[in-house]
Amino acid sequence: MNERSASSFGRRFGAPAAMVLALLAAPCALSRAGDAATHTPATAPPSIAITLDDLPFVGGLGPGDARPAATGRILEALRRHRVPATGFVVCQRIDDNPGLLTLWMQAGLELGNHSTTHAHLDAVALADWTEDVCGCGERLAALTGARVRWFRYPFLQTGAAIARRDSALAIVRGCGHEVAHVSVDTGEWVLVKPYVAALEAGDRDRARAIGEAYIEHLLAAIEHYREIARERVGRDVAQVLLLHANALAADHLDALLAAIEARGWRFISLAEALDDPVYSLPDLYAGPIGLSWLYRVARAADNAWAWDDAQLRALAERFGE
């Protein structure tokens, strides 16, 4: 990864380019998974859990659209394809979107904790981060009347240092949560602003191109991480895809899910996916970048993130963000 590539990662993950370059230059101390994590029936179809972050909704919409309608399109796509999705809530956004979270609850989808303010773990005191995490979990439990099982780290950042990482994990568990790992991380977030801008400008051709790029990128990411699992874990694993509740999902989730199905994937719940033994392996990474779980638990080359960085740069350069 070069300085320019490191800078693109830095913008997302809050890390200086020099830090990212130093990280990638350092020898990796990652080990290969054991037999318990590498065995699966050869005939099992590939399976994937669909998760959506930043509920109730994140980002803008095109003229004449509204968040309840956009949310309805997301939920209808999930219903049509019988996807047992899990949505991760930023509790601070509940008040900004009155009634919107109720739509997710009425659809019967599981809700997880994505913290109150989406705070960067390494940018705040642990005491404040504890309140940010536990407070959201308590609020969601009160709203749903049920235990909130899952927590997902904002930005997938789990701590730049080992001590910080381990302390944060203890906090998450102390709040009564389990970590909702992600195996298929993506750069679809970089397309949201240009997509909404194209809608606002009435540029249908550009909006269509961005929507197509959204689907192409996500399908490529799914196949990429399938290969990563096979190379570094030794088998197919139950994948967990990270999406966001945004305008792109509202307009293109149905087509995306159809394309995933057409490639032979089976939709499963987050709980079923995380029962895969790969998600019980130790986390061997501490650093400033939010990473796929598959990069954290198995041997990785020095250029492990080159594909992800190239995807981010290509999308940003193509659509001007």
pTM, full prediction:
0.87
Is the residue at 37 inside a domain? Answer: no
Of the chain, the end-to-end C-alpha distance in Å amounts to: 20
The pLDDT value recorded for residue 302 is 57
3-state secondary structure of 237: coil
Question: Each residue of 257-282: pLDDT tens digit?
Answer: 999 999 999 999 999 999 999 999 99
3-state secondary structure of 243: strand
Question: Each residue of 36-94: pLDDT tens digit?
Answer: 444 444 567 899 999 999 999 999 999 999 999 999 999 999 999 999 999 999 999 99
d(CA 135, CA 131): 5
- Tell me which H or E stretch contains 35: helix 35-38
Is the residue at 16 inside a domain? Answer: no
Is the residue at 291 inside a domain? Answer: yes
Question: Of 259, 233, 232, 231, which Cα lies nearest the Cα of 241?
Answer: 259
Is the residue at 3 inside a domain? Answer: no
- Please report, for the domain that includes residue 195, its CATH number: 3.20.20.370
Question: Each residue of 214-257: pLDDT tens digit?
Answer: 999 999 999 999 999 998 889 999 999 999 999 999 999 999 99
The pLDDT value recorded for residue 108 is 94
User: Residue 202's domain spans which residues?
Assistant: 43-319
Quote the number of domains for the chain: 1
